[in-house]
Amino acid sequence: MSIVKLAVKRPVTIAMLTLAVMLFGFVSLGRIPVTLLPDLAYPTLTVRTDYPGGAPGEVEQLVSKPIEETLGTVKGIRRIESISRAGQSDVLLEFSWGTDMEMASLDVREKLDWVDLPLDLEKPVLLRFNPSEEPVFRLALSLTNDKQSISALKQLRTYAEEDLKRQLESIEGVASVRLGGGLEDEIQVLVNERQAAALQIPMTLITQRLREENINLSGGRIEADRAEYLVRTLNQFQNLDDIRSIYLTTRNNRPILLKDIAIIENSYKERDAISRVGGMEAVEVSLYKEGDANTVQVSKAIQAHLKQLENAKLLPEQYTIKPIYDQAVFISAAIAEVRDAAIIGGLLAMVIIYLFLQRVWPTVVISLAIPISIIATFNLLYGYQVSLNMMSLGGIALAVGMLVDNAIVVLENIARHQQDKDIEAAAETGTREVAGAIVASTLTTMAVFFPLVFVEGIAGQLFRDQALTVTFSLAASLLVALTLIPMLSSRNRSKTNISTAPFVYSTGWRFWLKTPIYLIFRWVPFALISVIVAISRLGSKLFTFVTTPLLKVFNAVYRVLESSYQKLLNVALHRAGVTLGIILVSSAACYTLLPRLPVALLPNMAQGEFFVEVELQPGATIYETDAVLAQLGRVIANSEELNSLVDRYYTIAGTGSLLNAAPGQSGNQWGRLNVVMADHNAVAIENVQSQLRQAVQSMPGVMAKFGSPELFSFASPITIEFVGYDLALLQQAAQQFGISLDQHPQFTDIRVNMTDGQPELAVYFDHAKLSQYGLTSAEVSELLATKIGGRVASQFSLDDRKIDILVRSQSADRNSMRDLQQVIINPGAAREITLQAVAEVVPVVGPSEITRIGQQRTALVEANLDYGDLGSAVTNAQQLLSETQLPPTITARVAGQNEDMQRSFTSLQFALVLAVFLVYLVMASQFESLLHPLFILFTVPLAGAGSVLGLYLMGTELSIIVFIGLIMLAGIVVNNAIVLVDRINQLRQEGVERYQAVYTAAQQRLRPILMTMLTTVLGLLPLAIGLGEGAEIRAPMAISVIAGLLFSTLLTLLFIPCLYLLVDRKSVTAETYV
């Protein structure tokens, strides 16, 4: 029994299966995680190695270069880049897309064990970048008053660490909590160099005594007086006086205590991050979600906990908590926009169906395909672990207008057969007759998504969820069209056909027993059903009355359209060659607009928030960076205009609070201003950015980068790579070209990675003199590190907290180069030796960083775009580069997003060609012909021409989003031609002569073709309008599909009949044209 016959003969079975699928669909919907984007597995790893005190040159030669050479043999690596800066090495490994990153991580870790690195080096750390690993929620803990004393900021940080952090980490779905800002407690032992030297007390003795005296140990057990006692030595520091009273040694029969040569104070650690909200210092709390957690649900749980703190007054009165970033807000808004677009698109499609069918029941039957197909899709999304995100929901919104296409074709054919067959036979025959055509048309649409498997880069991963969603929903709509539609159509029968078994009356006690049961189970449901039917019929009559004027207008317009099409078709068929020529010339004219389209990798997405990353000159302190950010904040705070446009702003100076700081985010000279807009309008954002950009330009030595929170990890729009070996020549060439870019109006936010580095005091030992005094360079270097930088000798326990005890020289002894030269390097010896006696201290300035790409030294010049598209910017940059005179040892090329764009476009072009080929394979299998599918494929270039015209008129950039739309379009536009050619072949098999078959088929298929085209177009229209969050991603694809579908459908109605008439001359006899 075929599936169609089963649907007609077993309606209850089909109904129950449909209800089961919908039930499980709702269950699956509640369990699918909600995220902003699909889980993007970027094929990149970063090997970060800290080398305290190392200059960029040393880091390059001793750390970065050996790691590069060793890891270069790891399988799958496509590019190696290293960044060597003072005290840190970053080696960036870029793998081919599709690489198993878990296995790649294991390979890299194994290779790292073989790298020959300096012995005193810290172990390299392996980092992975993933936007989904960014914090999903940020909040600021600040003081309620303006008295931000050192003590208050220390208490604020302590409360955040000991109370708030623990509470937030207990929330379901929260993986970790990261703190930044405030002051961290630290016990500092500041040694007076002169007094320690006079008493011959070395720094090593101080650190040793601190470790020895700060200890608790178990001493075993003692049994006495019929009891067992534990013996414990309790000698940990209880207060600062315990530390001050530590005995060091004896001099001149006098005990020397620590307080005699050092100041012991409860201070705070050197700051690696300063956080401010609205100009007031605060502790920034960043919350990271678990990998499979629902971002929206995690956000709600966090907000509920914060509300509980407020209502229960669990938060100390002197503190206040303010959310400053919530990723769920954008996610919820973006997903709500997609959901609303899908609903509106579905309603518009239903309106089109009703206008064409002008009957309520058939409209309801067809419209059921939309919700049932979507709910069924949720089962498959859950099974394939696809989250609800912008791309998967966008796939549903894209498909919503196509979900009724199959149902329309089936129902229209059933209605035609109902004119001369009974209702069940019409449902079965009508469905079976078009089953092959709708299966082929559905398979062609589904087939175009298969080549996305071969698409490299972010495009393949980004659109995987969308491809799966569209494929699943179309498959579900096909099953609905082949089962539910014929089943419902066969149930639409008159009352006279309904027969019921008569009620057999009983007598005696059986009568009194059976009659109430009969009344309850027979007439009560009948009464309820009668009331429901009456209400529905009344509603139907009212709906028909209201829509009658609209139907009259539509019928009049459609009659004119149909009549005009018949006349135009007759003329076109008589002049088929001329018609084809006009259509081909018109399409070619549209393609001439292609070079004029702006080009971009991905559209910029306005999230109502942007940031300004500033970088000061190397050597700048964190307080100077904080002052620059505060100055930018005052630009907003002191302007009434900007205050009305900005909801809030917050700053972070230094990278201490970043979980995975990017290679470009380095040290105390880096900071970021985050601006959250009250008005999400692009003009308002540009206005605020313009004034902030002017403020930055007035600050000497400050480089700035404007951007939005990262949804995708891309290089800068424009990056120029200068390759060579001589660092001085590289730096000179890069800086000169940076000036040229800055003078061009299209480029802004110019950044040169190779500038003068942090000032250094280089210590060059005289090894002969060291050996003369019995010293080694390692001993002296360790001594300098302890006196200047400090060493943590032990930890002070306070209320379950561990506070570091840092030993270092007093600030008066380490403020200048002279202080460094006068450091005594042999404390405790009879004759004191200063550093300048055995070493030369020389101030030097090296490069800020050394970048190597492909194991070659490279200087980078990066820029953002002030206006225009990426394609024109690349052309302008290449023109400037050709006009630049470079030394013969230096080569240069344009990189950045242009490389990613070219790679993605090439991959997508291949996918488009492969998609068209797959469509041809499906159609050739359906028609059992090699010629007829070629007719149909001619609609694809027609659709492409329409897309180009639509993109040009709408001013939309050509991006990978548009390319995905074109690939999808290749599978959609052939559907109308498939239905048309299939009907022509059916008529010819029935003996109709060729011209009459073409003419009749075009007339008969005009209505369903227009219906399917309009339902798809109107289903996509809400996406194309481009309103709400995330519209920049959704609109370009919808515009390309709508424009291509409209253009190709209008031309296909003439092109395919004319082409068929000219080319297919099989079984030709003496045919005459009417």
| Rounded-to-integer distance, Cα 470 and Cα 201, Å | 77
CATH superfamily of 1-31+359-494: Multidrug efflux transporter AcrB transmembrane domain (1.20.1640.10)
- What is the C-alpha to C-alpha distance for residues 581 and 194, in angstroms, rounded to an integer? 98
Average pLDDT, integer, range 1000-1007: 88
Average pLDDT over residues 532-556: 77
- Which of 515-519, 676-680, 914-918 has the lowest average pLDDT? 515-519
Q: Is the pLDDT of residue 453 over 60?
A: yes
User: What is the model's pLDDT at position 497?
Assistant: 42
Is 739 or 507 the better-scoring residue by pLDDT?
739
Question: For residue 565, is pLDDT > 60?
Answer: yes
- Cα 984 to Cα 153, 252, 413, 690, distances in angstroms: 82, 117, 15, 62
Q: Which fold is adopted by the domain 186-268+760-844?
A: 3.30.2090
Q: Are strands 801-809 and 185-191 parallel, antiparallel or unpaired?
A: parallel
Give yes or no for a contact between 992 and 1013, defined as CB atoms under 8 angstroms apart. Answer: no
Cβ 689 vs Cβ 610: under 8 Å: yes
Report how far apart the first and last C-alpha atoms of the chain are (Å, whole number).
44
Helix axes 939-954, 576-591, angle to 10 degrees: 40
The C-alpha atoms of residue 411 and residue 477 are separated, in whole angstroms, by 13
Q: How confident is the model at residue 492 (pLDDT cuts 50, 70, 90)?
A: low
Q: H-helix or E-strand containing 690?
A: helix 682-697
Distance CA 755, CA 604 (A): 30
CATH architecture of 569-604+897-1066: Up-down Bundle (1.20)
By the 10 Å C-beta count (0-12 exposed, 13-18 middle, 19+ buried), 266 is classed as middle
Q: Report residue 192 as tokens.
A: 């007076």
Report pLDDT digits (tens) over 810-830: 888 888 888 888 888 887 677
| CA–CA distances in Å: residue 223 to residues 218, 279, 846 | 15, 64, 69
Of 752, 756, 603, 760, the C-alpha closest to 664 is 752
Cβ burial of 699 (10 Å; 0-12, 13-18, 19+) is middle
The lowest-confidence range among 25-34, 133-142, 289-298, 623-632 is 289-298
- C-alpha span between 723 and 851 (Å, rounded): 10
Arithmetic mean of pLDDT, 61-80: 89
Q: Round the CA-based radius of gyration of the chain to a whole number and report it.
A: 38
Strands (E), 759-855: 760-765, 791-798, 801-809, 839-844, 849-853
Looking at residue 771, its pLDDT comes to 87
Specify the pLDDT at position 1071: 39
Domain ranges of the chain: 1-31+359-494, 44-128, 133-184+271-330, 186-268+760-844, 509-547, 569-604+897-1066
**Residue 1068 — pLDDT band, cuts 50, 70, 90?**
very low
Q: What is the pLDDT of residue 1037?
A: 87
Select from 659, 400, 632, 360 the least CA-distant residue to 488: 360
Give 393-443 pLDDT, tens digit per residue: 888 887 887 888 888 888 878 887 877 778 888 888 888 888 887 888 788
- 733 Cβ contact partners less than 8 Å away, ≥ 6 residues apart: 722, 724, 859, 884, 886, 887, 890, 892
Average confidence (pLDDT) over 18-36: 88
Q: What percent of the chain has pLDDT over 90?
A: 8
Check if the beta carbon of residue 377 is closer than 8 Å to that of residue 476: yes
Within this chain, domains 44-128 and 133-184+271-330 share the same CATH topology: yes
Nearest CA to 558 out of 78, 1016, 1011 is that of 1011
pLDDT at 464: 82
Closest CA to 794 of 255, 260, 242: 242
Looking at residues 670-679, what average pLDDT do you find?
Answer: 86
* CA-based nearest residue to 281, from 629, 702, 693, 643: 629
* Cα dist from 289 to 37, 141, 170, 657, whole Å: 15, 20, 12, 17
Stretch 512-519: mean pLDDT: 59
Q: How confident is the model at residue 25 (pLDDT cuts 50, 70, 90)?
A: very high
How far is 678 from 687, CA to CA, in rounded Å? Answer: 13
Task: With beta carbons less than 8 A apart as the criterion, state whether 965 and 906 touch.
Answer: no
d(CA 716, CA 894): 11
CA 969, CA 946: separation in Å to the nearest integer? Answer: 11
302-320 pLDDT, tens digit per residue, is 999 999 888 877 888 888 8
What would the mean pLDDT of 376-388 be, rounded to a whole number?
A: 90
Q: What is the mean pLDDT of the chain?
A: 83
Least confident of 60-64, 399-403, 549-553, 1049-1053: 399-403
How far from 623 is each of 145, 270, 628, 760, 833, CA to CA, in Å? 22, 11, 9, 20, 36
Contact 835, 841 (CB under 8 A): yes
Cα separation, 804 vs 797, whole angstroms: 9
For residues 807 and 210, the answer to whether their CB atoms sit within 8 Å is yes
| Banded pLDDT at 301 (limits 50, 70, 90) | very high
Among 472-476, 669-673, 783-787, 1062-1066, where is mean pLDDT lowest? 1062-1066
Q: Which residue has the higher pLDDT, 661 or 764?
A: 764
Please, how many CA atoms are within 13 Å of residue 1034, restricted to the half-sphere of its CB? 33
Q: H/E element holding 750? A: strand 747-752
Strands 718-723 and 891-895: antiparallel
Query: Looking at the DSSP assignment, which residues form a beta bridge with residue 843?
Result: 761
pLDDT in tens, 886-931: 888 899 988 877 777 887 788 888 888 888 888 888 888 877 888 8
| Residue found by looking up tokens 């160099």 in the block | 193
Q: How far is CA 455 from the centre of its chain?
A: 18
Question: Which pLDDT score, from 0 to 100, does residue 1 have?
Answer: 54
Q: At what angle do helices 360-367 and 327-357 cross, to 10 degrees?
A: 140
Q: How confident is the model at residue 23 (pLDDT cuts 50, 70, 90)?
A: very high
Average pLDDT of the segment spanning 362-388: 88
Instruction: Give whole-number Cα distances, 874 to 706, 730, 836, 853, in Å.
Output: 19, 21, 54, 21
CATH of domain 133-184+271-330: 3.30.70.1320
The answer regarding whether domain 44-128 maps to CATH 3.40.718.10 reads: no
**Three-point CA angle 518, 523, 525, nearest 5°:** 115
Q: What is the pLDDT of residues 142-194, one digit of tens each?
A: 888 777 788 888 888 889 888 888 899 889 888 888 888 888 888 989 988 88
Q: Are 1030 and 390 in contact (CB under 8 A)?
A: yes
Name which of 343-357, 536-550, 601-615, 947-961 the model is least confident about: 536-550
